[in-house]
Structure 1
Amino acid sequence: MMVYDLKDGRKMSIRRAEERDADEIVKMYAKMGGESDNLTFGIDDFYFTEEQERIFISNLNNRNNCLYIVAILDNKIIGNVSFVGSQRKKLEHRGDMGIAVLKDFWGIGVGKNLMEYFLKWASSNEIIKKIDLQVVENNTAAINFYMKYGFKIEGRITKGMYINGKYYDIYNMGKILE
């Protein structure tokens, strides 16, 4: 576990997700779904049950090219990063990353610290050479955030997301680890 100072003076810790976190993570995602249109799910639309989340955490924790971390503030999970590397030999060097932070904690350094923890892990992992992620085209804050960390737009999925009666493209972004 690592401890970080946030912009508001509080201390946040980051650690690997544990199976016992499953219920809290599912509840966090249910809340997030109503806070932002930038996620792939809406309010009460996160499809994992507590048991499925527990299995997901266990599976990622038992693989060398995967990571699932949580940000904790005042004994509550407020954000996370998941990175799922492929189980196929030809693809195990790359994986998909997702990052999420509860809206109440935006802008105080939670995402920054999660990203830096994740990138440090990825860079030290001898298997991982490429990180991929997807972001909706109108989420300029996230796109700029990812670019700050060396991600580049590599492609576009036309009409990739449907939000409030309108289609948006999704950018595929990637980062090659040196």
Structure 2
Amino acid sequence: MMIYELKNGKKLGIRRAEERDAKELVAMYNRLGTESDNLTFGMDDYYLNYDQEKSLIYSLNSRENCLYIVAILDGKIIGNLSFVASQRKRLMHRGELGIAVLKDYWNIGVGNSLMDYFFKWAQSTEKIKKVELQVRDDNMPAISLYLKWGFKFEGKISRGVMVNGKYYDLYYMGRTIGW
């Protein structure tokens, strides 16, 4: 586990997700669905149950080019980051990043810490050469974080997500590693 100091002085632990985390992660996602409209799911809309989440953790942990990490504060999971790359030989070098943090812990450095852990891992694998993500075009805190970490705008998906009957555009962002 890596330890990071947050802006509020507390210590945040980050480690790979483990199968025993599945129940807590599903609960966290269900809570996140009520806290933010910036995700691809809303209240009671998270698509994995306990067994499926457990299988996902096992699957991602068994693949060299994927990562699933959790942020732990005061003994509970408050956020996570996943990076899922293809198993196809021509696409194994790139994947999609997703990050989520419970609202009570926004703006204290959790996202930045997750990104630090991720990029240290990605550079150490020497397999990951491209990181991609999608973000709502009005989610300025997330966009600022991604720009800070070297992501660039690569495109726009018009009407990419619908929240409460309203469509929002998504930015497609990417960053290369080691080129």
Q: Give TM-score, length-normalised by structure 1.
A: 0.98
> What is the distance in 1 between the residues matched to 2:68 and 2:150?
21
Aligned to 2:132: 132
1:164 Cα deviation after fit: 2.2
Q: How many residues align?
A: 178
Aligned to 2:86: 86
Gapped runs of 5+ residues in structure 1?
Answer: none
Matched, 1:74 2:60: no
Matched, 1:172 2:177: no
Identity of matched residues, %: 63
1:60 Cα deviation after fit: 0.4
> What is the distance in 1 between the residues matched to 2:158 and 2:7?
37
1:121 Cα deviation after fit: 0.6
> What is the distance in 1 between the residues matched to 2:75 and 2:148?
30
- Map residues 28-107 of structure 1 onto 2, 5 A cutoff: 28-107=28-107
> What is the distance in 1 between the residues matched to 2:137 and 2:62?
34
Amino acid at match of 2:146: Y
Aligned to 2:148: 148
Deviation readout 1:44-92 (Å, 9 max, x if unpaired): 1101000000000000000000000000011100000000010100000
> What is the distance in 1 between the residues matched to 2:165 and 2:49?
28
Amino acid at match of 2:117: Y
Amino acid at match of 2:159: K
Q: Secondary structure at the match of 1:33?
A: helix
> What is the distance in 2 between the residues matched to 1:96 and 1:53?
18
